[in-house]
Structure 1
């Protein structure tokens, strides 16, 4: 089976995710929609991480307060979003059974016991 082209504008991380999932699984259209969103989120995580790597995780405000860089706050949100999208796809993570017969529904980023 031929792997469909990654979404327009996909970056390195997104293309890698797209390929990895579609080489292992055949997805229905609704699952492809989730994967497209995951690709965008993975790319955004890479972009935000680059900002944090360059500028550091903390910033000093005009009032002299030190606080978390806005990019690190959004990076955390995007990582949560990406994890939820992957869980919604029921793609096994790591050493999990690869038959995708896991519990249905979104379990959150902490997984089911």
Structure 2
């Protein structure tokens, strides 16, 4: 695959992630779409962090009570989304030629548990 242009409108953090990924991997078209969303999510997290730094961490609730800024919840939600997007990209681990999807990782772990139980039964008999 030739050079792939970053999606329009990416900020500094999103563009940095885009470039870092493309330096080490050659994503398929569907992975490029996921990567673009991950990059946008990184930019949104940067904007949330800047808003939190500029504003109060504690705000006034609907009945006048002090409460944490709703931006904290938004940051947590964005981190979850980012983790899921990056997980779906299934980057290879060190020494792997190809990454494994979350379903493949779960299946591999389940197989390891089954074999461990099988070996335990046969070894104990």
Q: So what's the TM-score if we normalise by structure 1?
A: 0.80
After TM superposition, the runs of 4+ consecutive aligned structure 1 residues lying more than 4 A away are none
- Partner SS for 1:39: helix
Number of the residue aligned with 2:38: 38
In structure 1, runs of 5+ residues without a counterpart are none
* Higher mean displacement: 19-28 or 66-75: 66-75
For the 8 Å contact 2:45–2:75, the answer to whether it is kept is yes
Q: Which structure has the highest helix share of the two?
A: 2
Cα distance in structure 1, aligned partners of 2:4 and 2:98? 24
RMSD: 2.2
Higher Cα Rg: structure 1 or 2?
2
How do 1:39-54 and structure 2 match up within 5 A? 39-54=39-54
The offset of 1:98, in angstroms, is 5.2
1:48 and 1:100, CA in 2 relative to 1: closer, same or farther beyond 3 A?
farther
Cα distance in structure 1, aligned partners of 2:44 and 2:95? 27
In structure 2, runs of 5+ residues without a counterpart are 110-125
**Greater relative contact order (CA < 8 Å, ≥ 6 in sequence):** 1
* Number of aligned residues: 105
Cα distance in structure 2, aligned partners of 1:60 and 1:32? 41
Number of the residue aligned with 1:8: 8
For the 8 Å contact 2:91–2:100, the answer to whether it is kept is no
- Partner SS for 1:4: coil
